[in-house]
Structure 1
Amino acid sequence: MTKIRTLTALILAPIAIAAILLLPTPWLAALAAVVFLAGLWEWFKLAEIDDTLSRTVLLLVNLLLMVALVWASRSSSGGSLVLFQLATVVGVIWWLLAALWLKHYSFASDHDTHARMFKLAASTLAVVPAWCALGLIHASDPTPSVWGTIPKGHLWLLTALMIVWAADSGAYFVGRRFGKHKLSPRISPNKTVEGLLGGLAAGIAVGVAGGALAGASPAQLPWVALVALLAVAASVVGDLYESLLKRHVGAKDSSNLLPGHGGILDRLDGVLAALPVFALGKAWLGF
């Protein structure tokens, strides 16, 4: 399983990195919307929306919300990202509430209409703000970096994603080797405190290195480390929340689309939570 997991990552990672670094923000946002909406489709399954027509309508509603945000942000002077910023703040608030949800395992765990409504609302509050945060980070600094014509904002987005990827890998390998104390046995029995610490260390290290490459000054690197820490913590909440949804319906993965990784949502869960936190921290602390 580890070999398959690694092989899948080696195939997908270069494609994702090339898209982040080389595509202009509108094209990357369009590509990301496709990926995020695919993850949303799997979320609907975990919310027990089994009817294909219903899932399609719900998907179109979320797509139209994304389109509406883009359309409302346009102006004769080139546009404004205020709505994207507001959506990002909403995303951060949502994940704080999701952390509280994790403490109440049984909330919306039944299979009636009200439980589905909560989980459907959660899907939009998770996916759309994360997509907005992705666009914000990518467009945050169009000035060329030391790596030639690649804008600094593109490197910042890559850094944000690599923080999550590094934290996920660090937690996986450290947890397998040293894990003894369960982090949340009822929600995700395989996650350990030792894995969490390994993920935090890996995420912060990658965040500082990526921040330096993206153009952060030495004085800014401690703030980058702080935001990386918060982003990793948020990614853990996102991971655990998706695990909670799967526990409620007895699913192991959101799908079997990605060999060794499960579904698209299984790869996006931490990213959905980390991106708004990283975008807000970056804007607030000014790096």
Structure 2
Amino acid sequence: MNKPTRSQAIKSRILTALVLIPLVLAGLFLLPSQGLLALGLFLALVGGIEWAGLIHIHGAGRLLYGGLVAGLTYVLTQVDPVAVALVAGLWWVLVIAEIPVFRPQTDEPAFRAAHGLAGLATLAPALALLVDLVQDSPWRGLAVLVAIWAADIGAYGVGKAWGRHKLAPHVSPGKTWEGLVGGALLAGLAGGVLAWQAPLEVGGPAVLAAVAILVALIGQVGDLSESMFKRRAGLKDSGQWLPGHGGLLDRIDSLTAGVPAFVLCLWGVGV
């Protein structure tokens, strides 16, 4: 099978996004509270199944691991969200410390067990917090998504046009410092515009712009984290069911770090 050209890949990516974005918006604003919880648990199940593939769990074991992620996600929805976000923040500090010393590991049992625990720490808190965030205010859920989407678009565009200095070449060779800055600035702009137009009650456009910039920067840690696990597994994407995007993990990697950061930022500014 021929590998798609860059233009074909971009076209597939755009077409998939045009389908997904209306579905995401409908979920944010139309689903009742229990529907949002069910959707969050479904995403946790699918994300867990994909993560199991990254650590070479096969057969029924994948479904079992996915169920474990979904179960922990449900438990965390019953816990104070700030407490969940604080614990998640500690996890991401550990991930940041690992990035500079990352090396593609062999399939050693000890590393597989550690990576299994890492999947729980990565997915369950973020998805539980996202469910809680949207149940509290669909607009706040949209705000964190817009920050991450804008960061992805800005990082890709600026990185392709002006990227010269590699961010973490041993983890993700395509990422650049220029792309990181461009993505953060676009996220800040998008956050400011959204706060200006939407009933967010987060302290005004300047506050949400600053929060969006922080979320965009920290979200890149989630992206790099998934890249580390994919490199260790020898995979380019976590799945293949989203044309041009890969799998679910490839779409929510930045959110896994960005959502806890968003919750902590709102807590920090007292909203």
- TM-score under structure 1 length normalisation: 0.86
SS for the counterpart of 2:174 is strand
Report the counterpart of residue 63 of structure 1 in structure 2. 70
Check the 8 A contact 1:174/1:195 in 2, yes or no. yes
Report the counterpart of residue 76 of structure 1 in structure 2. none
> Is residue 113 of structure 2 the alignment partner of residue 105 of structure 1?
no
- Structure 1: gaps (5+ residues): 74-80, 141-152
Opposite residue 117 of structure 2, the aligned amino acid is A
Report the counterpart of residue 126 of structure 2 in structure 1. 130
Opposite residue 160 of structure 2, the aligned amino acid is R
In the aligned structure 1, how far is the partner of 2:129 from the partner of 2:221? 17
In the aligned structure 1, how far is the partner of 2:146 from the partner of 2:203? 22
Q: 1:119 aligns with which of 101, 115, 131?
A: 115
Counterparts of 1:5-84 in structure 2 under 5 Å?
5-49=13-57, 51-70=58-77, 73=78, 82=80, 84=81
Deviation string for 1:30-79 (max 9, x for gaps)? Answer: 11221232122111111222x21222222222222233445xx4xxxxxx
Q: 1:227 aligns with which of 211, 215, 228?
A: 211
In the aligned structure 1, how far is the partner of 2:62 from the partner of 2:56? 10
Q: How many residues align?
A: 263
Check the 8 A contact 1:87/1:128 in 2, yes or no. no
Opposite residue 166 of structure 1, the aligned amino acid is A
Give me the identity figure in percent.
35
In the aligned structure 2, how far is the partner of 1:65 from the partner of 1:103? 29
Deviation string for 1:197-237 (max 9, x for gaps)? Answer: 11011111111122233335695433322221221112101
In the aligned structure 2, how far is the partner of 1:161 from the partner of 1:100? 26
Q: 1:85 aligns with which of 82, 102, 106?
A: 82
Opposite residue 168 of structure 1, the aligned amino acid is D
SS for the counterpart of 2:119 is helix
Report the counterpart of residue 272 of structure 1 in structure 2. 256
In the aligned structure 2, how far is the partner of 1:244 from the partner of 1:208? 32
RMSD of the TM alignment (CA)? 1.8
